[in-house]
Chains A and B, each alone.
Chain A
Amino acid sequence: MTTRFPATHAALLGIVLAISGFILWSAVSASTSLDNLVVVAPVAAVLGVLLLVVIAGALRGSASEDVKSGAGSDLLLLAGFSAFCFALTHIGFDVATFVFVWAGVVMSGGRGLWQPPLFAALFTVLLVKGFGSLFPYPMLTLVL
């Protein structure tokens, strides 16, 4: 399948535009002094020009860019990863890690009924007792 402007590219440029626009607006609203805008203003101006150049280039270019496959499963794992990051400090580092690693191994093609959960359990214990013990911060755990 080919397209001039893949949806993921449009999404990326939309994110860049939205975040940069918000940072500029927020900085200008906070203070219009030179000290405050010395980097934000020129960077925003150049970014605006670059966005136009990239969009124009993508629209003018030939429709030969392949749409890469596998976005659905990548996004699923990414969503799972985001949920895992959020769950770490909410349900506990141990349980969240165990569930995520188990599910991740299965989603990535790990075979067998008992190997993925066993690996996830061993890895979690190693992480909590090894990596976790080096943290200078308190770490919420549910089981370990």
Chain B
Amino acid sequence: MIDHFALSQAFSLLFTSFEPWLWVIPGLLIGLVFGSIPGLQISMAMAVFLPVTFGMDFLQAMLFLTAIFTGGAYGGGVTAILMNIPGSSSSIATAFDGYPMARQGKHNEALGLGLAASVVGAFVGYILLLLLIDPLAALVLKIGPMEMVVVVLWGLTLIATLNDSSLAKGLLAGFFGLMLSQIGMSTTGVMRTTVGNPHLLDGIPVVPAMIGIFAASELLRLRGNTYLVQDEAQRDISLGRILKGVSQTFRYPSVLVRGSLIGAVIGAIPGVGSSVANLVSYGEAKRTSETSETFGKGAPEGVIAAESANSSSEGGSMTALLALGIPGGAATAVLLAAFSFHNIIGGPSFIRNQTDVVYSIILGNLGQVVLLAVIGLLMLRVLGLVVRVPLAYLVPSVLAMCAWGGYGITGTIAGPLTVAGFAGLGWLMRRNDYPVAATVIGLLLGRMMEGELVRTLQISNGQPLNYLLERPIALALFVFMLLVLVGAPLFKTLRQRRDDRAGT
């Protein structure tokens, strides 16, 4: 599986001089900053700093850009934990349990959990990439719209588990999100609900909507309090407690490994990636947990599942880029631009002829993960200070940043107005005990779902079920999903009944 000669050459490329590593720490810091500010995207950071790489050699450029990618993936989780503001769609599930932990005064532990899970997840993702780049590339080529439909369906099933008090309210919130995703031009070019507004042609911008419904509505709810963490004694930033969170991560090895594997595999699917991976991983952690009732109220497993999956998906997303030359998302598209600037074309010939460079990129990323652990620990002490800011000052400031973030995404008035509209919707939903996350998931996955369904219908000539039987990967995924969603809870209930009967 590994070309040992190329591997030794990769080591010498990376470690004979310090040059490839010069830009790694600045890259990680840039990623952390861009990832943690709502509205500044990782892909935006990579695009802004792309021209800087023109003076670098290829390996140095790759390490710099992937360092931004790695730092950004973790940075999004920091604000999700501290302020319930996911920096990007890949951190949505981190907020589910990270933020309740922060409100309980366990922000140090939550940040430690997130950091350790991110580091382990990214490590697993890149190790898998190193060992399995060829088979993974072959797998990616076999994935078509039908397989994507199954994966997106899997992500959507999380909607049903988000509200324990009322299933109907959770489903209503999720289906409303799906409905909202249908605004704009359809996959086949039909105009729907645009009311003549050109800003709606591409549908509702998801990130501004997410900022509004999560952050702005939560900030409005917080106004009655004086600080994010009410108990003054809990408001400290303690390295010891962050490290306690780090060690706590390893008490849940199955959640950590499962999250990392889910992230790596789903991350490899172009166009799906980390947005779905963190949701699927969170959903699976909740379903299989012995203490599933604690999820959403500050369960450490929830943070671990979400962060390990979104970080490992980075390694997965590199599969398609390196092995096939296909960018799976916006961030890898910027990497592809750097490839082309250095006259390198990703794909089978790149892997075959320049294996040492491919290995260098992967090994360099493994090194970055170790550096992320150190930089992350140092930065957390600064980022965590937000819990000491009085809410009277924090709420209007972050609200203003939310609106700016909306503009940063769209570049038009549509962004801030989407933030405002969804802030109102989120306020109404939270007030009446509807899970706002379900609406975001519906909005995020609805578009993806429609595109893949239409393609499946076209390919299958209107016979999707017959087509499913001809697609072994889709069929296996579908059966596995049914087993996990229906079989496992059924088995659990039967076992509990048997235990109860044996007890009486």
Contact = CB atoms under 8 A, between A and B. Distances in A.
A86 B391 CA distance: 24
Interface in A50-71: 50-51, 53-54, 57, 68, 70-71
Interface string A71-100: 101100110011011101100010001001
A84 B400 contact: yes
Interface in B212-260: 216, 220-221, 223-224, 226
Interface residues of A, number: 67
B172 A47 contact: yes
A119 B393 contact: yes
B396 A105 contact: yes
Contacts of B187: 35
Given A44-B179, A105-B392, A78 B193 contact: no
Nearest to B431: A8
Contacts of A101: 396-397, 400
A36 interface: yes
Nearest to B428: A12
Interface stretch (B117-125, B279-287, B373-381, B419-427): B419-427
B487 interface: no
B467 interface: no
Interface string B162-198: 0000101101100110111111001110111100000
A50 B175 contact: yes
Interface secondary structure of A, over-half rule: helix
B413 interface: yes
Output the residue of A19, A50, A53 with the most chain B CB within 10 A.
Answer: A50
A129 interface: no
A136 B399 contact: no
B332 to A, nearest CB: 19
Given A12-B434, A16-B172, A38-B454, A104 B396 contact: yes
A23 B221 CA distance: 30
B459 to A, nearest CB: 12
Contacts, number: 202
A136 B220 CA distance: 29
A38 B404 contact: no
A65 to B, nearest CB: 9
B403 A84 contact: yes
A38 B403 CA distance: 34
Contact of A38 (B179, B224, B391, B450): B450
Contacts of B190: 27, 30-31, 33, 36
A108 B391 contact: yes
A88 B192 contact: no
Given A50-B175, A78-B423, A105-B396, A36 B186 contact: yes
B224 to A, nearest CB: 7
Contact of B395 (A23, A85, A104, A119): A104
A144 interface: no
Interface in B424-444: 424-425, 427-429, 431-432, 434
B408 interface: yes
Nearest to B195: A26
A23 B406 CA distance: 24
Contact of B454 (A35, A43, A127): A35
A105 B389 CA distance: 12
Contacts of B179: 19-20, 23-24, 40, 43-44, 47
B396 A82 contact: no
B44 interface: yes
Contacts of A114: none
Given A15-B428, A30-B192, A101-B400, A23 B392 contact: no
A44 B168 CA distance: 15
A78 B223 CA distance: 12
A11 B428 contact: yes
16 contacts: A8-B432, A19-B180, A23-B180, A30-B192, A34-B457, A35-B458, A36-B190, A39-B182, A47-B175, A70-B223, A71-B431, A74-B427, A81-B216, A109-B392, A135-B411, A136-B411
Given A39-B449, A131-B401, 9 more contacts: A27-B193, A31-B190, A33-B190, A43-B178, A50-B172, A53-B168, A74-B223, A131-B404, A134-B40
Interface of A: 6, 8-9, 11-12, 15-16, 19-20, 22-24, 26-27, 30-31, 33-36, 38-40, 43-44, 46-47, 50-51, 53-54, 57, 68, 70-71, 73-74, 77-78, 81-82, 84-86, 88-89, 93, 97, 100-101, 103-105, 107-110, 119, 123, 127, 131-132, 134-137, 139
Closest 4 CB pairs of A and B: A104-B396, A137-B411, A85-B416, A110-B392
